[in-house]
Structure 1
Amino acid sequence: MVFQPDPVVTGDAVELNVSIAQLPVRAAAALIDVAVMATGYAVLAMGWVLTVSEFDQALSAAVLLIVMVLVLVGYPVVFESATRGRSLGKMALGLRVVSDDGGPERLRQAVFRALSSVIEIWMLTGGPAVICSMLSPRGKRLGDVFAGTMVISERAPKLNPPPMMPPELAWWAATLQLAGLDAAQAEMARQFLSRAEQLDPVMRAQMGQRIAAEVIPRIAPPPPPGAAPERVLAAVLAERHRRELARLQVRPPT
């Protein structure tokens, strides 16, 4: 059974174009992280055994257990917090952990994911993580479900860049209220602008007027008199994109 992933919609009802990381790629990244953690644990354990061998076995076992927990939990938390959602394995394969709204992963979410991985990946050998990822439309394992995160691929094919802001409409776009513009209408306008130069001039003008007639009633204030429909659509999409980027770059306090 193949699931079509739901679109990633932010709190401002802006649909983000992201590529959900597939299970085989995530598994390969996890294997790299497992190798790194196993190597780190082996080095720390060997150092403990060689330097403090005079302590009794009970204390040594307790220390080794603490070291194991620090490696299993500390490694993903430290790396994902410092690199905004990437461990060494994810860096190697172009993956990143983000919040469900497309924003950066928070420290609390990294801790939730790390703690759940101890059970679903290490204690249960990854079975629950694989099953949950296969059933989830966004490829989430249990830790992602609890933390409100997902793993995306940063090496997916890039879409056309957003339209440039028409200089003569920048002042008007800065005053816009865009809450009434839904993702479907914005995507329709984006696709039209990306292919406008390939259309017949008459059809291009007709389509521009028709799409602008659907978009303008959902924004406020209305565009200046005489503004070309294509320029109006470009200004709306450029301002919408600018506001969303500004929102995602400001990391809210946890």
Structure 2
Amino acid sequence: MDGIITGEGVVLDSRPASAASRLLAALLDLLLLGVVLFVVFIALSAVITSPSEEVVRIVGVVFLATITVVLPTTVDTLTRGRSLGKLALGIRIVRDDGGPIVFRQSFVRALVGVGELWLTFGSVALICSIVHPQGKRVGDILAGTYAVRVRGAAKVRTPIVMPPMLAGWAHTADLARLPDGLALSVRQFLGRAASLHPASRVQLGSQLTAEVQRYVNPLPPLGTHPEAFLAAVLAERRDRELVTRLRAGERDAAESSLLQRLPHGVPDPVD
């Protein structure tokens, strides 16, 4: 099955990007880089009129290091793997576990890219991307990353239903805020539980239950099925957030009406 397998074993609905789309994204980035370099060259020419040989050598070394390593690392780190070319083609560089890339992965990709992209004019990267089943280049293999497609129609998600036997417990339980990554993993596990292998389903459900129980007090009744427990936590969490939003909206509306009233003693206009 194609897709990203998270650390909790949940399959995300993303597909590896093709070599053609990665090549086109790289060409767009290269075109943008050329425009930026042209502007920088014009600016330096206006500032430095007659540079010495040492200045030219230093500027050249700094220039090459910036173009080949510093700039790609910075862009990938700040954009979480979405340069303008990748953004235009609807692809993103992610870790093998589906998470966003950080500085370490960006630096390894850029450093390896000096050889497989710049010194070989991208031929090594293109061949590796075509041959590899996930479209990885050498830098992706060493950094533990690959490119995925992030465009496409959003799938309708089945709403989480509160298990009736746990409704009373969930309404009175103290539920701390779940980390976003854990909540997403639980949501995707419940959505795909029916398609998982029975043994994997039990194992993943037990692992996620153990993690979520750290944020719940008191624990559900003994003998509660892990999937029922996870569904109850997410359903109650959703309902509480909805109530909080509704109350905040009512409070804002009341405060807004007070601010719009005329000063004391001046009657409000009658329509």
CA offset at residue 186 of structure 1? Answer: 6.8
1:64 to 60, 66, 71: 60
> Is there any run of 5+ residues in structure 1 with no aligned partner, and where?
175-180, 192-210, 225-230, 243-254
CA contact (8 A) 1:44 1:67 kept: no
CA offset at residue 84 of structure 1? Answer: 1.5
TM-score w.r.t. the length of structure 1 is 0.66
CA offset at residue 37 of structure 1? Answer: 1.4
1:120 to 98, 116, 119: 116
1:105 to 91, 101, 109: 101
CA offset at residue 76 of structure 1? Answer: 2.1
1:250 is matched with none
Percent identity between matched residues is: 31
- Evaluate the alpha carbon distance shift between residue 190 and residue 117 of structure 1 in structure 2; reply closer, same or farther with a 3 A threshold: same
When the two chains are superposed, the root-mean-square deviation of aligned CA atoms in Å is 3.9
> Is there any run of 5+ residues in structure 2 with no aligned partner, and where?
176-185, 210-221, 239-271
CA offset at residue 17 of structure 1? Answer: 2.0
1:79 is matched with 75
2:154 is matched with 158
* 1:98-157 Cα shifts (integer Å, max 9, x gaps): 100001101110111111222111110111111111121111001101111111111134
* 1:41-72 Cα shifts (integer Å, max 9, x gaps): 22223322332132223421430331232123
CA contact (8 A) 2:17 2:148 kept: yes
* Distance in 1 between residues matched to 2:66 and 2:223, nearest whole Å: 57
How is 1:8-47 mapped onto 2 (pairs within 5 angstroms)?
8-47=4-43
Secondary structure (helix, strand or coil) at the match of 1:97 reads strand
CA contact (8 A) 2:193 2:201 kept: no
1:187 is matched with 192
CA contact (8 A) 2:158 2:191 kept: no
**Paired positions, count:** 204
1:52 is matched with 48
CA offset at residue 11 of structure 1? Answer: 1.6
Larger mean CA deviation between 95-104 and 74-83 belongs to 74-83
